[in-house]
Structure formats: C-alpha cells, structure tokens
Amino acid sequence: MTADGLASWNDTATRAAIVDFVARVTTEGGPDFVPPSERIATFDNDGTLWCEKPLYVQADFILRKWRAMAEADASLAQEQPYKAVVEDDRAWLGALTDHVPELVQGVSEAFGGLTTEAFEAEAVEFFENVRHPTLGVAYTEAVYAPMRELLAFLESHEFRVFICSGGGRDFIRPVSERIYGIPRERVIGSSAPLELREGALVRTAGVEQPIDDGPGKPVHIWARTGRRPLLAGGNADGDVEMLAHSRFALLVHHDDADREFAYTSGAEKSLEAAAAHGWTVVSMRDDWATVFA
Amino acid sequence: MTADGLASWNDTATRAAIVDFVARVTTEGGPDFVPPSERIATFDNDGTLWCEKPLYVQADFILRKWRAMAEADASLAQEQPYKAVVEDDRAWLGALTDHVPELVQGVSEAFGGLTTEAFEAEAVEFFENVRHPTLGVAYTEAVYAPMRELLAFLESHEFRVFICSGGGRDFIRPVSERIYGIPRERVIGSSAPLELREGALVRTAGVEQPIDDGPGKPVHIWARTGRRPLLAGGNADGDVEMLAHSRFALLVHHDDADREFAYTSGAEKSLEAAAAHGWTVVSMRDDWATVFA
C-alpha cells in the first residue's frame, strides 16, 4: 500500500505505521484482515482535527453569546459566568473545572429553549463571521490538512469515520461535511437533553450524561456504532479511554510553536499512556509537511 | 421510476405512492429533489419490519431468561416478575404499563452487569435456537419480505436506512445486517445505561431516558442522524411522533388474519393520525403479495 493522498505528511515512521496498519486490516486473506463492515474509525475534534488554542472554538461561540446577553441585560453582569466575560476575568474562565455549575447554568440560559434549527442558525452565523484570533482565518480553515487527508485515506479504504468530540455534537454538525467530509450522522459529541415540543426538538437545561469525554467516549461510540473503533485519534487526556478502547491509537502531539502551538498541558496522561501502550504519536513538527491547508 | 425490486408488493395505490415519492425526491432538477446526504429513512422494528405477535420477540427473550433465573434460584418464584413467569400469569405479564417498576427491575437483574459482548452472546444464542411460537420459523425469518425489499429499494436510491425501535438497540444489532441489510451503526433503540469498567462496557440498572418510543423517537433520530426522516415507517401508537416528524409517513396496518395477524389494538391513535394527515397506510392483506419470504 502506498501513502497516496497523504501529501501533507512527511515520509516518517509515523506515516509508515498508519499506512502499514491500514494495509494489514484491508488485505483480504491476510491474518489481520477486518471486513469493511467492521472498519470504524473515531477522531476527537478539538486539537485533533482543528486547532483548540488559544481557546476552544465552541468556547469563543459561547463567550460571545454571554457577552451579547450581558449587553442586552445589564443586571446579568453581576452574576457568573457573565461577570467574568464582561470583566475579561481569564483566571475565572480558565478554571473550568472549578465552575462547572455556573458554566452549565450559563450555557442552559444561553441556548436552552432553542430549537435544534435555531441553535444551528446561531452556529452557522458564528462560523461565517468569526475568525480565529491568532491565525487570522475562519475557524473552519483552522483544520489540520494532514488529518483531513487521513480521514479521506481511511474512507477510501472503506472505513466509516466518526467524529467523537467532548464538545457539542450539534455545534460541529453544520460544518462537518464541508470541512471534514463527514456527514452529520457521523458526528458524536455532547449535547443538551432534547425534548419534543409541538413537533420541534428543543434544547433543555443541563447536559446529557455521560458527556462525550473520558470514560464517556467509549459509551457514546458504542451507542452510535455498536463497535469498538478499529482506529482512533485524539490529542488529550479526555481521549485516553477511547484510544485504549481501539485497535490502533493515534495521539497528536502539539510540539510546533512556529506553525501552531506547543503545549502538553491537558495531555500529560495521554502522552504517558501512549508511551506505556506503544500508541503512535504524531509530532506536528516532524511528521507534518503542512499544518493548515 | 419503476417498482423494480418490490416484487412482494401488489401493484396498488400504496406501492405507487411510495415509488412516486422516491421518484420525486431523487429527480435531479425537480421541484422536490433532496440531495443524497439528506435522504434518511427510519423504520420501527416490531410489527413494522418483523412480526410482533403473539408477543414481542424481545419479550420472549426476557421471559426465557427470567424462567431460567427462577429455576436456578427458587426463592425468586415468590417475587414479581418471576412469579408471573413461573405461574404463566398472562394477565399480569400482559398489563405491561401497570408493572413498569417490576419489569425494569427484572430486566436490570437479568442483564445488569453483563458486558455488551456477553449480552450479545445471549441474544445470538436466542436467535439461533428459538422459533416463533406459531409461524414455526426462526424469529429472524419472521421478517416481512415486502419491507425488506423496501429497505433495499431505498438504499438503491441513496437513502441511508435506520431502524428506530422502541425495543432494545443491542438486542437487534447482532442480526440487523443479516436480516435487513442494515449495519449495526444504523440501529437506533432503547438501552440500559452503559458504563466503562476496566475497559469493558457494562450494562447498568434501569433504562436510558428518553426511551426510544413515542416522543423519544424524534429525539433519538436527531441524536443519531442530525436530521428529520425524509421517510419513516411504523405500525403503532409509539410511532406517531416519528411519523409526524417525517416528510413521507408509512403506516403498516395488520389486517391479514390468514397470513399474519389482524389487530388494531395499540395502533388506534396511529390509524387516526394516518387518516387525519393523509399518511400512506399499508394493508398487509391487499398491498402485499407475499408476507414472509
């Protein structure tokens, strides 16, 4: 098997490991052959398929909405999370895990009661109008070209590729087909609980459990596919369980300060697990000829 | 468009309505054209794709498990639902909605703690060994040949077909590809909540909410596909919301006592809704040349 279609990858051991694995599971009669029906691949989104720094794309979407709400109703500026947004209190906003109740409450106030169509319209407007704060391109162009090629490479070898994001399923769906070639029915992610009201699907308060992160990822993947991933890709600690649940695990390591960002924060456990289990680690600096298309 | 592939259907207005709808949404440049990416079809399972009388297939599976549990542990025979099974108390077992807590508790005791693999092995063993009580064939052969043809007809016109069952998602998955040509990732249904334990997915107690019935069906369909169905098929009151949520609604009416069963119980509201909204009603007696292959 050749690496046709993987032009943004350098000719390194990483690319060879991927191509070799795909060759083994698609070689009919070979000892590792897997029939096409069982070829499921799952990829985390933030930091794996598109850039997640300096902030999650969806965080930018939510913060803008909170700011607009606080501008429309000054009394909100006294309460969290609106207060932190109005005062640009990055310490408060950065300590996500310390403020889960306020953040979930804020998200419920911002988007609860919206129909799925109305929520999608807000997401589409965001993607059309907002640019990445440092890269200067639309967020939909802050996609890693080598990963986009890998998704197509897998599809061309009869894998069905799913996104499996800790972030919002319905936030990614409006753009997944265009930017990744992944149809909306193959986007897995977290969501507000939905309810049918007078024929419309409406977002309610809170978050559906389990969220699609950490141990929730294999649960969501099973619910959606009825399988373990044959191949999975991630970049952070929330991906460890999904990667451990797959046959071939790919971990994207952000070590390219010149072309993207260099960080290991939030990926410490996944890098340790990769070393312990022999997962294939992608060095953005060394393995990728191009980062963004 | 011809009705090629629908050989088990009589040449009636019902078949013509289906073929006409598919022709309209697949005619490029026509006023009703729908691109392939948006062509999602969803079908209820029990009573729509396979026979649900004299009892739900999965009910037989569960009752057999309860009987085996009561045989292995005599003390269980004093408690519901085991008592009703041991005493063959059909009145108690038939009044499902009056005994939801006992039934859910019994299902949790029967299958809670099983891994998804162990549960699947029990389902596979059931399908291999148990025959339909009156038709005398394996349950996997108690499939409606005209519906099987319709699924293939839709697939051949670039629809993606999903099962959307009020019953157990993971109960149907082991046979969906073989008997319907529907891969397991396109089976939507109800489920026990799953939990990741030491790398395995384990069934826990209770039922994930909402169950995939009634108003839960459009919620599950959105979660799984991000769309409304372009075409949906059902046969009972639990399908009304799904059918109302679709562009083209097909309601299977069980009016063939000779070849299958004749009943309207549990379908009263769906038949009323069909009349009110002009849904296409399939008469098994008049519209089907063959019922079972």
Residue A112: the pLDDT is 97
Residues of A in contact with B201 (CB under 8 A): 218-219, 222
Amino acid at B107: V
Nearest CA in chain B to A40: B185
Residue B96: the pLDDT is 83
Å from A219 to nearest chain B CA?
6
pLDDT higher than 90, residue B94: no
Radius of gyration of chain B (CA): 20
> What size, in residues, is chain B?
293
Chain A positions with Cβ closer than 8 Å to B: 37, 40, 116, 160, 169-170, 173, 177, 183-185, 187, 191, 194-196, 199, 201, 215-216, 218-219, 222-227, 241, 244-245
Q: Is the ipTM of this complex over 0.90?
A: yes
Residues of chain A with confidence (pLDDT) below 70: none
Residue A3: the pLDDT is 85
Query: Closest partner residue to B37 among A177, A201, A219, by Cβ?
Result: A177
Supply the pTM of this predicted model.
Answer: 0.97
Number of A to B CB contacts under 8 A, please give it: 69
The label of the residue with tokens 């030491």 reads: B198
Q: pLDDT band for B95, please (50, 70, 90 cuts).
A: confident
Residue A96: the pLDDT is 83
Q: Which pLDDT tens digit goes with each residue over B140-173?
A: 999 999 999 999 999 999 999 999 999 999 999 9
Residues of A in contact with B223 (CB under 8 A): 169, 191, 194
Number of separate helices (H) and strands (E) present in chain A: 12, 8
Is B219–A177 a contact, with Cβ atoms under 8 angstroms apart?
Answer: no
Please report the DSSP string for A42-99 in residue order: EE--BTTTB---SS-HHHHHHHHHHHHHHHH-GGGGGSTTHHHHHTT-HHHHH-GGGG
Residues of B in contact with A177 (CB under 8 A): 37
Q: pLDDT band for B40, please (50, 70, 90 cuts).
A: very high
Residues of B in contact with A170 (CB under 8 A): 226
Is A244–B199 a contact, with Cβ atoms under 8 angstroms apart?
Answer: yes
Q: pLDDT band for B116, please (50, 70, 90 cuts).
A: very high
Distance CA A165, CA B32 (A): 34
Nearest CA in chain A to B199: A245
Q: Which residue has the higher pLDDT, B4 or A153?
A: A153
Residues of A in contact with B222 (CB under 8 A): 116, 194, 201
Q: What is the mean pLDDT of chain B?
A: 97
Q: Which pLDDT tens digit goes with each residue over B212-266?
A: 999 999 999 999 999 999 999 999 999 999 999 999 999 999 999 999 999 999 9
